[in-house]
Amino acid sequence: MNISSQRPYREVLDRLRACGLRPTRQRLGLARLLFAGSDRHVTAEGLHSEAIAADVPVSLATIYNTLHQFTEVGLLREVVVDATRSYFDTHTADHHHFFNEKSGLLIDIPDADVVISQLPPTPEGTKIHRVDVIVRIVD
């Protein structure tokens, strides 16, 4: 057991603490899976399988709780592209998506790669919370 193998735990642990989330075994395990590498898009079921495979025993109920808690504190962002399933994105900054409806694959588009040069005024009494551009693609 060496220092460097511990670092990811420490970083993730601090990150959870910083968000006010108690770093439980489940949350730590899921956070390590989610934030280990580059940006990811997961579904509850997908993350659950992955967690089980990675020896991070978690119930599906806890997966849902965790995904929503992470989303609330800004560690994740929900992407609505498919009426039958919720996707969660580890990339939380503004950006957009390609969505392959056949395969269900979601691909990030950097915010800078989409330029919206005109948008109508929002309805009276409302303001923009966020603009989602979904480029639906087919093979």
Say if CB 104 and CB 137 are below 8 A apart.
Answer: no
| Interaction of residue 5 with DNA, rule CB under 7 A | no
**Binding-site partner at residue 36 among a copy of itself, DNA, none, CB < 5 to 8 Å by type:** none
| Interaction of residue 61 with DNA, rule CB under 7 A | yes
| Interaction of residue 111 with a copy of itself, rule CB under 8 A | no
**Binding-site partner at residue 139 among DNA, a copy of itself, none, CB < 5 to 8 Å by type:** a copy of itself
Three-state DSSP class for residue 79: strand
Tell me which amino acid residue 54 is.
A
**Binding-site partner at residue 128 among a copy of itself, DNA, none, CB < 5 to 8 Å by type:** a copy of itself
Three-state DSSP class for residue 88: strand
Number of residues that bind DNA (CB under 7 A): 25
Token pair listed for 25: 């075994």
Tell me which amino acid residue 34 is.
L
Q: Which of 98, 91, 97 is nearest to 40 (CA)?
A: 91
Q: By the criterion CB under 7 A, which residues form the site for DNA?
A: 17, 21-27, 43-45, 57-62, 64-66, 68, 83-86
